[in-house]
A and B are shown apart, each in its own frame.
Chain A
Amino acid sequence: DVKVTQSSRYLVKRTGEKVFLECVQDMDHENMFWYRQDPGLGLRLIYFSYDVKMKEKGDIPEGYSVSREKKERFSLILESASTNQTSMYLCASTLNLGSLYEQYFGPGTRLTVT
């Protein structure tokens, strides 16, 4: 079974703190993704990575950065957390097989910035 794990289910941080969200997958997937989910807005792509050290901006990259030093691990970094980054963060991974393969999701991290 594919497993995607995220470092925390719930996280509370203060404004201005640097925040690291970690995601690990165990199925040798090339592609990894970070989304944020807000009510009524669905899933919005922050960044994705299709290979080690490769990354591409998604729809809402502002205020975020990412790191992929190893194939199985994809980190999302909030350089200076702000209250408008309070949200649910979902990590996902998939094989690079054109349009054929689904994404597998982690359990999500509910981040609150106070």
Chain B
Amino acid sequence: AQKITQTQPGMFVQEKEAVTLDCTYDTSDQSYGLFWYKQPSSGEMIFLIYQGSYDEQNATEGRYSLNFQKARKSANLVISASQLGDSAMYFCAMREGSTGNQFYFGTGTSLTVIP
């Protein structure tokens, strides 16, 4: 079974609008971490935001927020006030506390911001 599922291969959003990128995960661990990365066309992977399984509040970092719904096992990324520079691939990832060493990545969502 897939540990991380991203069901949106491609998304479009108008500049200045908000957009939600979906991510669901599968784990039986109580302790785990969820991460979002951005990959522009240049190829480098940029860490955006982290949510721990025990965190009660949704994580926020500037225009990025993580909508964490533990019972549904979802960790959606919300980008507010989209900018042209947000056009990139976005990857959701999970790290389990029991193994700790491995990260599991989704297949990514390609976001295009339209002027």
Contact = CB atoms under 8 A, between A and B. Distances in A.
B50 interface: yes
Nearest to A58: B102
B64 interface: no
A48 B95 contact: no
A99 B43 contact: no
A90 B45 contact: yes
Interface residues of A, number: 30
Contacts of B9: 40
A39 B97 CA distance: 29
B43 A103 contact: no
B52 A100 contact: yes
Interface stretch (A12-20, A60-68, A78-86, A104-112): A104-112
Contacts, number: 67
Contacts of A40: 9, 107
Given A42-B108, A43-B105, A99 B32 contact: yes
A96 B106 contact: no
A98 B100 contact: yes
Nearest to A30: B101
A31 B52 CA distance: 20
Contact of A99 (B31, B45, B105, B107): B31
A102 interface: yes
30 contacts: A33-B103, A35-B105, A41-B107, A42-B105, A42-B107, A43-B91, A45-B103, A88-B43, A90-B45, A92-B45, A92-B103, A96-B101, A98-B100, A99-B29, A99-B33, A99-B52, A99-B53, A99-B95, A99-B96, A100-B33, A101-B33, A102-B33, A102-B35, A102-B50, A103-B93, A105-B44, A107-B43, A108-B43, A108-B45, A110-B43
Given A97-B100, A100-B52, 18 more contacts: A43-B91, A56-B101, A90-B45, A92-B45, A98-B31, A98-B95, A99-B97, A100-B33, A101-B95, A103-B35, A103-B93, A104-B47, A105-B37, A106-B44, A107-B44, A108-B43, A108-B44, A108-B45
